[in-house]
Copies of this chain bind each other. A is one copy, B any other.
Amino acid sequence: MNNENGAVVLLSGGIDSTVLLHHVAKELKCASIHALSFDYGQRHAKELACAKWQAESIGVTQYRVIELAFLKDVLSGASTLMADGPPVPDLQDIPGGDTEQPPTYVPNRNMMLLSVAAAYAEANGIRDVFYGAQAQDEYGYWDCTADFLQRINTVLSLNRRDSIIIHAPLITKSKADSVRKGIELGIDFNHTWSCYRGGDTPCGTCPTCVERSNAFKALGERDPLTS
């Protein structure tokens, strides 16, 4: 990438995208950073306050929350991740197997978010978009895999003038790798949010709480949100 041209970062407010934001800001030294969050009716919309805090903490050029108000209607409660969907199950109650889609899967969400981010980048003269998918996501989500990313880029490469590239440097990394990298980068994890249930405190038993907890434990580190 050409870091004089700036970057768009998809920022959910979770660990991976926050690590990505700090990586782009501190290690790639992009001339400008546009951090985009999406309000799509997710149950854990409180992640957006963390996204904003992180974006402001590094002084991004632009921080935008893009309101995808239409998605509630389009998805008709098809995911437990949506505020109007069925309840989020505990990880232990979700059947295993990577040929299934977990109930926390949101139909085609990531293709929608990446296509909006690419449109934003193109309209603003930016070529590089950063996406925080990481390796453990792909057990559950086809739209977090390296194959998915590669094929999305194959679509975007057809653009005759300003073709956008989506980068996902964490896509081969584990959640523990993200936490380790975040510690190196000096991230305050107190201002990140993972729990799908979006309560006052992390529930500790939903899929992303368990994954987050295991990642900190694997490193012998404490998660400030739960300790």
Question: Which residues of A are interface residues toward B (Cβ below 8 A)?
Answer: 64, 66-71, 73-76, 78, 98-101, 107-109, 111-112, 115-116, 118-120, 122-124, 142-143, 145, 147-148, 151-152, 154-156, 158-162, 164
Additional pairs, 9, CB under 8 Å, beyond known A78-B122, A112-B119: A75-B123, A107-B119, A107-B162, A108-B116, A108-B164, A142-B158, A142-B160, A148-B158, A151-B155
Q: What residues of chain B lie closer than 8 Å to A69, measured between beta carbons? A: 67, 69-70
Q: What residues of chain B lie closer than 8 Å to A122, measured between beta carbons? A: 78, 107-108
Q: What residues of chain B lie closer than 8 Å to A145, measured between beta carbons? A: 158
Q: What residues of chain B lie closer than 8 Å to A109, measured between beta carbons? A: 119
Q: What residues of chain B lie closer than 8 Å to A115, measured between beta carbons? A: 108, 111-112, 115
Is B78's CB under 8 angstroms from A73's CB?
A: no
Q: What residues of chain B lie closer than 8 Å to A75, measured between beta carbons? A: 119-120, 123
Is B158's CB under 8 angstroms from A147's CB?
A: yes
Question: How close is A166's CB to chain B, nearest CB, in angstroms?
Answer: 12
> What is the bound-complex CA distance between A108 and B166, given in angstroms?
14
> What is the bound-complex CA distance between A70 and B123, given in angstroms?
14
Question: How close is A48's CB to chain B, nearest CB, in angstroms?
Answer: 14
Measured CB to CB, the nearest residue on chain B to A109 is B119
Q: What residues of chain B lie closer than 8 Å to A71, measured between beta carbons? A: 119
Is B124's CB under 8 angstroms from A119's CB?
A: no
Option from B107, B118, B155 in Cβ contact (under 8 Å) with A155: B155
Is B160's CB under 8 angstroms from A99's CB?
A: yes
Is A151's CB under 8 angstroms from B161's CB?
A: no
Question: How close is A72's CB to chain B, nearest CB, in angstroms?
Answer: 11
Measured CB to CB, the nearest residue on chain B to A71 is B119
> What is the bound-complex CA distance between A108 and B145, given in angstroms?
22
Measured CB to CB, the nearest residue on chain B to A120 is B74
> What is the bound-complex CA distance between A169 and B68, given in angstroms?
30
Question: How close is A3's CB to chain B, nearest CB, in angstroms?
Answer: 22
Measured CB to CB, the nearest residue on chain B to A69 is B69
